[in-house]
Structure 1
Amino acid sequence: MKDGWTMILAAVGIIVALPILAFGGGGDSGQGLFDRRVDPPDLSALPDRAYAPQDPDQVTIASGPRTDINGFETVAVARFRMQGLVLSRKDYKRDHASGYSPVDLGLGWGRLSNPRIAALMTFAQGNRQMRYSLPDGDMIPQSEIGASLTNAHLVPAGPEQKRALDRVRRGDVVHIEGYLVNVTSPDGTARWVTSRSRYDTGYNACEIILVQRIRSYTPGA
């Protein structure tokens, strides 16, 4: 599309979103569906280079570790490591998933890890979803965008990881290591399933990442 808001990954309205819950979704109360606030810094002012040229690294594991996160059980399905440019950030405090995942990061790699290219796009997050607009729809193919962008649901493994995650801002370059996990609610009535592919779209297309190590920096700082 040449203008207007484009749902992520297709012209027909596909969204990068948290997997559908048995009892329904829902974002933080008192907020609109999408938060279009743009946090500093201005991406166009950052150096012109790709900071994460490589795709995320993922290794499937047959029987991964189980971890308790505030009563939610996570089960690892793959080891996961990635570097990406933070395109947007959304914090959650009152939705069904905030007990284990307090923040979503919109992360780009490949050409989308170049701040000058990312600055030409507009990103919005809300209700565990992410969407973007690209004024010049021919600049980057939709297929490339879909394979170079994720709305990651981050699960800090402990207080240290939570503090490091709290410091991450839009425009930072972030390196994350941990696991892709499926999550079960404390009462066992709901289950969240992580994506394991960079090429899927729509619901169930987001990575749920149990963060064991995370570091970040601001380019040019």
Structure 2
Amino acid sequence: MIKHLLFIVLLIGGIYYYWDTRPVEHGPGVVAPETPVQEATYNADTFAYKGFKITPKATINLEARVLSIKNYYFDKYADLIPTDVVVGWGPMSDERNLSSLLVRQSDRSFYWEMAAPPLEKQQMWQHASNMHLIGSTKAVRDKINDLREGHIIHIEGYLVNATSPKDGWTLKSSMRRDDIGKSSSELVWIKSLTIL
């Protein structure tokens, strides 16, 4: 009897977990058409957050589709940035292009797995980004934890550089749309996050 109850509880828990974390589907078509807008901030004041120094470098206003999410627990940035997301806009928000590839995240970067590119590779890279997310408030951090693959999100905040005086490292945000590789990720201080 106890085994049957335990099985039922585990089954219900598994169904709930799948339902709560399953990817969101939209069907064919571009669902986030606009290119992110950023504007440089000159001489912005550095401020402290959780023992880190944060320096805004540009404002960012972004609407994009979440392509992949990865949580980090043990690397040197985890206390500041527990979550990275890969987002896409324009053609990289269209399920017709996304259905033929897998987005993989590892070591704070991302890469594609695909039999054949759905678009020219340069176009793919220019319409997607790996973002290290810093939630400015508990409410924003809770929303980051609620994100699922396929969500359309709107972010307002800053691209920032971050320094750990304690551990001696500095992480700089990319400021370009055409770079590739580990230094191409954006470090984003999120003032507002909306799941559309």
- After TM superposition, is the score higher than 0.5? yes
What are the equivalent positions in structure 2 for 1:156-171 lying under 5 Å apart?
156-171=135-150
User: Aligned residue for 1:191?
Assistant: 170
User: Aligned residue for 1:140?
Assistant: 119
CA-CA distance at 1:215 after TM superposition: 0.8
What are the equivalent positions in structure 2 for 1:1-221 lying under 5 Å apart?
40-41=22-23, 45-137=25-117, 139-187=118-166, 189-217=168-196
Residues 156, 117 of structure 1: CA spacing in aligned structure 2 closer, same or farther, 3 A cutoff? same
Q: Give the count of matched residue pairs.
A: 176
Q: Please identify which structure carries the higher helix content.
A: 2
Residues of 2 paired with 1:158 and 1:94: CA distance? Answer: 22
SS of the aligned residue for 2:122 comes to helix
Residues of 2 paired with 1:172 and 1:161: CA distance? Answer: 15
Gaps of 5+ in 2: 1-20
CA-CA distance at 1:165 after TM superposition: 0.9
> Which amino acid is the alignment partner of residue 80 of structure 1?
I
SS of the aligned residue for 1:204 comes to helix
TM-score of the superposition, structure 1-length normalised? Answer: 0.75
- Of 77-86 and 47-56, deviating more is 47-56
Gaps of 5+ in 1: 1-38
Residues of 2 paired with 1:67 and 1:159: CA distance? Answer: 18
Q: Please identify which structure carries the higher strand content.
A: 2
Following TM superposition, the consecutive aligned residue runs of length 4 or more in structure 1 with deviations greater than 6 angstroms are none
**CA offset digits 1:127-165 (Å, max 9, x no partner):** 21111122223x300110110111110111121110111
Q: Which has the larger radius of gyration?
A: 2
State the superposition RMSD in angstroms: 1.5
SS of the aligned residue for 2:150 comes to coil
Q: Which has the higher contact order (CA 8 A, sep 6+)?
A: 1
TM-score of the superposition, structure 2-length normalised? Answer: 0.85
